[in-house]
Amino acid sequence: MKQFSGKRVLVTGACGTVGSELIRQLLSNGNYDPAEVVGIDNQETALFFEDQTYLHDSRARFFIADIRDRDELARRMQGIDVVFHTAALKHVVLCERSPDQALQTNISGIQNVIAASIEAGVEKVIFTSSDKAVNPTNVMGTSKLMGERLMTAANSSKRNESAPVFASTRFGNVLGSSGSVIPIFHNQIAKGGPVTVTATEMTRFIMSIEEAVRLVLDSALQARGGEVFITKMPVIRIWDLALAMIDELATRYGFEPDQIEINVIGPKPGEKLYEELMSEEETRRSVELKNYFSVLPAFRGIYHDIDYSYDTLVTEEVDKAYVSSTELAKSVEAIKGILYEYQLLEEPDDESDTRYWPGDKESVE
């Protein structure tokens, strides 16, 4: 049976990296076969072009809507079965500068999604979270953590079995996404260097957008209610990523790899040298599945019990936090394979070769 056969699916943040890929996979992958896919976003121009992409697919419909508008959300969710909530303010420094705006979108907006989905009788709501929600060091990460808590609380407080199933999914860096370091490294190499790396020991969880979204879709099928699904992801050192890209790209632009220097520029305020996808505290209430860890609610259902029985259960005991610095990092050669597999060595559209950090403005006297 096809996984979303006959279902009507709504995606918030339809023009974002994750939202647009969700829509693409739902409409193009024959394993899903939804009856309708509705995309909403508050970016008019981007939404227009997204609409044009699916002009000849009668299942695709797009609307201007803001998740801050609860009434509009309720209207658009009428008849919807599954909601993927990806809309958010995600840029760390901009959220730091305007915390009230981050609160309105990333916290109040999620509460609006919850209320509208209950009113519309949706079956499932999946919230896409971030590694920055774990032990957050900034406003954006804190707002994402609160979003997870709101989803879990909504699930534990529902009074009947027909209410939506609410769950979250948390993952790390998406290779090649907006703001990714890969196109910046590419452009720096094309100009002969130097390539700027934050720190030699910096590690990150990584995954292609295609794989990340496939696992988001799968988590919707796994969800029992209130969990946070944590995607298992490969780990790389950013230094090794720079080496791999230099090896593969230098000669394309007329340089020898040993001609390209790497400069260590140091971490920015609030930037971690490692990524955390699951904290030590969360391990005590987590189970391991084939492709995920599932962090179960600290406070179980108030009005009903939930059976957290998963078909792909590996173990009910997780004994260590999921942190990039303690996981085995991919070798330079393995990173090269990943770059080719996901076609990440093509010339980027953006010509920027500077790791722009808006926070630098605040430090200028």
Residue 175: pLDDT band by 50, 70, 90 thresholds? confident
Helix (H, G, I), strand (E, B) or coil at 49: helix
**In this structure, what DSSP letter does residue 260 have?**
S
Q: Give strand pairing partners of 128.
A: 169
pLDDT value for 3 = 82
Read off the tokens for 172: 């790390």
Catalytic residue among 124, 132, 144, 336: 132
Query: Is 132 labeled as catalytic in the residue annotation?
Result: yes
What DSSP character marks residue 328? Answer: P
pLDDT of residue 362: 55
Q: What is the overall mean pLDDT for the chain? A: 91
Task: Give CA–CA dist 251/264, Å, rounded.
Answer: 23
- Given its phi and psi angles, is residue 28 left (phi above 0), alpha (psi -120 to 50 degrees) or beta? alpha
pLDDT digits (tens, 9 = 90+) for 227-273: 999 999 999 999 999 999 999 999 999 999 999 999 999 887 777 89
Report whether pLDDT(90) > 50. yes
pLDDT at 17 over 70: yes
Of 106-110, 239-243, 339-343, the range with the lowest mean pLDDT is: 339-343
Q: Tens digits of per-residue pLDDT, 32-69?
A: 999 999 999 999 999 999 999 999 999 999 999 999 99
Rounded mean pLDDT of 334-363?
A: 76
pLDDT band for position 177 (cuts 50, 70, 90): low
Task: Give the span between the Cα atoms of 240 and 39, in whole angstroms.
Answer: 38
118-143 tens-digit pLDDT: 999 999 999 999 999 999 989 999 99
pLDDT at 298: 87
Tokens of 198: 């934050």
Q: Give the model's pLDDT for residue 365.
A: 42
Which residue matches tokens 């492709």? 291
